[in-house]
Amino acid sequence: MNKIIYLEINDTLQAAVVKEIAHPRHSVFHVSFENGYENIFFTDVESGKWLEEDLGFTRLAATVGQSVTQYLSEPVLVPRPLVWQKNDGITVFGFYNYNYEDNEIYEIYRPNHKFMCYLLRTSNNDWYLLKTHSIFKCKEVDIETVERITDILETY
């Protein structure tokens, strides 16, 4: 879906092309503005507020979110209270966990609040990186990072 929206930014009306991106945990839109600026905008799974990728909770993200909400094909459920892990005061990752049969599922989120992957811990304490939603495409997940995360999660 490509739509043209008009946003008031700094007292000026600007046109932008928005395209929804299917995602298993966030409402996500790629937005291209007529001035050449573009970015990914997505909902925070904890609060439902809109973020601008790698810039956080900006005023532009809130404005875009307010405008694109009407175009959501399927709203993503919120809230998901995340537990944030820090190392030397720097956020490393956040997670939300729940049980499924005899296993624990961990949804892992990057420091920028964007979903990274699912991890499954079996009753035998074996860890598995689960395939994400079939239409969700992301950058490769760094296995070393996943191993560090599972080491930290062993305490939970």
Are 87 and 143 contained in the same domain? yes
* Containing structural domain, residue 122: 83-153
pLDDT tens-digit profile, the chain (156 residues) = 688 888 888 888 889 999 988 887 888 999 999 989 999 999 999 998 999 998 999 999 999 999 988 877 666 666 889 999 988 778 889 999 999 999 999 999 999 999 988 999 999 989 998 866 544 444 556 778 888 888 888 887
C-alpha 126/C-alpha 76 separation (Å) is: 29
Q: Residue 78: inside a domain, yes or no?
A: no
Closest CA to 90 of 62, 111, 65: 111
Task: Give the CA count within 13 Å in the CB-facing half-sphere of 121.
Answer: 18
Are 41 and 103 contained in the same domain? no
Domain boundary among 71, 105, 122: 71
Are 98 and 135 contained in the same domain? yes
Q: Residue 40: inside a domain, yes or no?
A: yes
Are 57 and 105 contained in the same domain? no
Closest CA to 68 of 18, 33, 21, 26: 18
Are 62 and 90 contained in the same domain? no
Q: Residue 34: inside a domain, yes or no?
A: yes
